[in-house]
Amino acid sequence: MSAVNAGQLERGSTSTVEAPIQEKETRGEEELDVPWQVVVHNDPVNLMTYVTMVFQRVFGYPREKAERHMLEVHQKGRSILWSGVREPAEFYVQQLHGYLLLATLEKVV
Amino acid sequence: MEICRQDDALQISDLDPFLAELLRQIPESTNPDGAPAAEARLFSQPSAEKKIRAEWKSYVEPELRRLFRSATETVADDLTQLNGNEKSLSNCILHIPIAHADAWLNTLNQARLVIAAKYKFSDEELNDHDRSPIGSRRDLGLFQVNFYGFLQEFILREISG
Picking from B60, B63, B121, B155 by the largest number of A CB atoms within 10 A of its own CB, the best residue to mutate is B60
User: Would you state the pLDDT for residue B91?
Assistant: 65
Task: Summarize pLDDT for A27-51 with one digit per residue, the tens.
Answer: 555 555 689 999 999 999 999 999 9
For helices A48-59 and A86-98, angle between their N-to-C axes, nearest 10 degrees? 140
Q: If you measure CA to CA, which chain B residue comes closest to A100?
A: B42
pLDDT at A97 over 60: yes
User: Would you state the pLDDT for residue B153?
Assistant: 95
Task: Summarize pLDDT for B39-76 with one digit per residue, the tens.
Answer: 999 999 999 999 999 999 999 999 999 999 999 999 99
What is the distance between the alpha carbons of residues A33 and A12, in angstroms, rounded to a whole number?
50
Name the B residues in 82-121 with CB < 8 Å from any A CB.
105-106, 109-110, 112-113, 116, 121
Task: Summarize pLDDT for B101-134 with one digit per residue, the tens.
Answer: 999 999 999 999 999 999 999 888 888 767 666 7
What is the distance between the alpha carbons of residues B17 and A25, in angstroms, rounded to a whole number?
59
Cβ-Cβ contacts under 8 Å, B43 against chain A? 97
pTM of the model: 0.84
User: What number is the average pLDDT over the span A57-79?
Assistant: 97
User: What number is the average pLDDT over the span A86-92?
Assistant: 96
Return the number of CB contacts < 8 Å for A and B: 60
Contact B46 A49 (CB under 8 A): no
Contact B63 A94 (CB under 8 A): yes
Cβ-Cβ contacts under 8 Å, A94 against chain B? 46, 60, 63-64
Residue type, B93: I
- Across chain A, mean pLDDT equals 81
Among B61, B62, B72, B145, smallest CA distance to B103 is for B72
Classified as helix, coil or strand, B110 is helix
User: Would you state the pLDDT for residue A32?
Assistant: 57
pLDDT at B89 over 80: no
pLDDT at A11 over 90: no
Tell whether A8 lies on the interface with B, counting CB pairs under 8 A.
no
The answer to whether A104 touches A78, Cβ cutoff 8 Å, is no
Tell whether B156 lies on the interface with A, counting CB pairs under 8 A.
yes
pLDDT band with cut points at 50, 70 and 90 for residue A64:
very high
pLDDT band with cut points at 50, 70 and 90 for residue A109:
confident
